[in-house]
A and B are shown apart, each in its own frame.
Chain A
Amino acid sequence: MEYGLDLEYSFNEFLKGFGLSSEIAHIIWLPLPMLLVLVAAVVGVLVTVWLERKISAAAQQRIGPEYAGALGVLQPIADGLKLLVKEDIIPAKADGILFTAGPILVLVPVILSWLIVPFGQNLLISNVGIGIFLWIALSSIQPIGLLMSGYASNNKYSLLGGLRAAAQSISYEIPLALSVLAIVLMTNSLSTIDIVNQQSGAGILSWNIWRQPVGFIVFWICALAECERLPFDLPEAEEELVAGYQTEYAGMKFALFYLGSYINLILSALLVSILYLGGWGFPIPVELIANFLNLPINSPFIQVFTASIGIVMTVLKAYLLVFIAILLRWTTPRVRIDQLLDLGWKFLLPISLANLLITAGLKLAFPQFFGG
């Protein structure tokens, strides 16, 4: 399956044409995909915020943002600008250093995790061997940032919110990792590229969701809990805790939390689509389309077609899941904190363990369907 556009190679060759050494060309290349992914993440957040406003309005029979741009599409930018120019307040009795470091520690691991999100065969920043494990490791740093900001705010609601956030994130990380492990077992690799390629055999029929339905549901519930979305937004439950660990934050520091939670939501949706919904794969295999059009698989037209359809499919699947998450947020009630922890430890954990065991058994019994 080693085909696809190699933009890095062509870019380096292009720069070498100007007489630059390959090392310099590589250094010029390095920041480009990072910037591109950062921009993609921020634009994704803007789109999601707009969707959230519009869908919540529809769920409550309102119109929603209307005047900023057509259908209010510029509203998220207005929101962002407002937060940007607001005064940066640090409460007098708060711990200044930890108060500032908290939001950064929440945001940075989420952005770093975009390292492994593939939009096509070669369209990702780095195909690191540990792939999906990197995301699991990085997402475990977040609770430290939440605890830090909760503690530094010097406010009992913030502290309780931070503690709740950390407890929630720790308890849902385990079923999350176990359901990822079942996928890894089927793929024989941690790399996200291999995980998608393993699902690309027969289009929609070979997606992991048919082989891992339980894993899919467990992963989706845990991903929502990790993002602190309703029904699992206990850390910032406004009836109980004002706004949880965000209570004392204003301006850009609050915006970092806001940005972090939305980037995390999009990242989770992207990872669900990569792990269970075939990633960049089209429901009908591209090879079949190429055969139908009588074009060789390496022809430039098919290559560009594959790359563009890959990006479109990844984004489409991710936004479908974001849509479901937003719909869930505005239609479901919040669970109680004891119900939340019960669900994590007494229900999802045993189920994901059983799922892992059954996957291992099925892999031994039917190696052609469950990865040899």
Chain B
Amino acid sequence: MSIAVTTQIICFTVLSLVIVIGALGVVLLESIVYSAFLLGGVFMSVAGLYLLLNASFVAAAQVLVYVGAVNVLIIFAIMLVNKKEDLKPINDIKSRRIISTSICLTLLSLLIRVDLTNVWSLSSPQNSIGEESTIRIGEHLFSDYLLPFEVASVLLLMAMIGAIVLARRDVMSKDISTGLPVDQELIEKSSEPLLTKKN
């Protein structure tokens, strides 16, 4: 076995272990902050797997989008609203767990089916394009994948406008959740009075 192949196998093992253990940690850990940071680690390891597959552009895009944008925003949101509070016990926790387990198992079986039915091997290893893939991805995005690409951008625009409308209460005359008229004076003022009158 050559040194390059050995290195690849070691890298693949380490990355897969990090992904599996990290993903389990994201779901099972009690602390939401740890989950968020572990999620970043999982995203990084996925980028590492792309790198092993010679897809360097996809790997860098994965780091930029998932780690640099998505994960940072998740952590940001957690830290802005990080309140220590005792959660109320849920009554029908058992049935909820059964439903979520069955949904996850269905998804897993779907993925296993895709794995088994798809033909993974390339016709020849010479077909891999390596560094040229950046150009090839660009060509595909602006030709046969143009519609999904544009639809995704419209979706993101809608989400952005929605977020702005929700965040800037001065553009709405009524509070969405309570239906009360909104105080237009200070945007950053809390919608509920801090000291509730007792009478």
Contact = CB atoms under 8 A, between A and B. Distances in A.
Say if A and B assemble together. yes
A138 B63 contact: yes
Contact of B64 (A129, A137, A190): A137
A225 B178 CA distance: 41
Nearest to B75: A147
A148 B71 CA distance: 12
A150 B76 CA distance: 11
B173 interface: no
B37 A144 contact: yes
Interface string A159-184: 10011001100100100000000000
Given A140-B72, A144-B40, A151-B33, A129 B134 contact: yes
A143 interface: yes
9 contacts: A98-B33, A98-B37, A133-B60, A140-B68, A140-B69, A141-B68, A147-B75, A151-B79, A170-B72
A137 B60 contact: yes
B131 A129 contact: yes
A140 B43 CA distance: 13
Interface residues of A, number: 27
Given A147-B79, A151-B33, A130 B67 contact: no
Interface in B1-48: 2-4, 33, 37, 40, 44
A239 interface: no
Contact of B63 (A128, A129, A140, A170): A140
B61 interface: yes
Contacts of B80: 163
Nearest to A143: B72
A162 B37 CA distance: 15
B75 A137 contact: no
A137 B134 CA distance: 15
Contacts of A129: 56-57, 130-132, 134
A137 B33 CA distance: 23
A351 interface: no
A136 interface: yes
A143 B68 contact: yes
Contacts of B132: 129
A137 B59 CA distance: 9
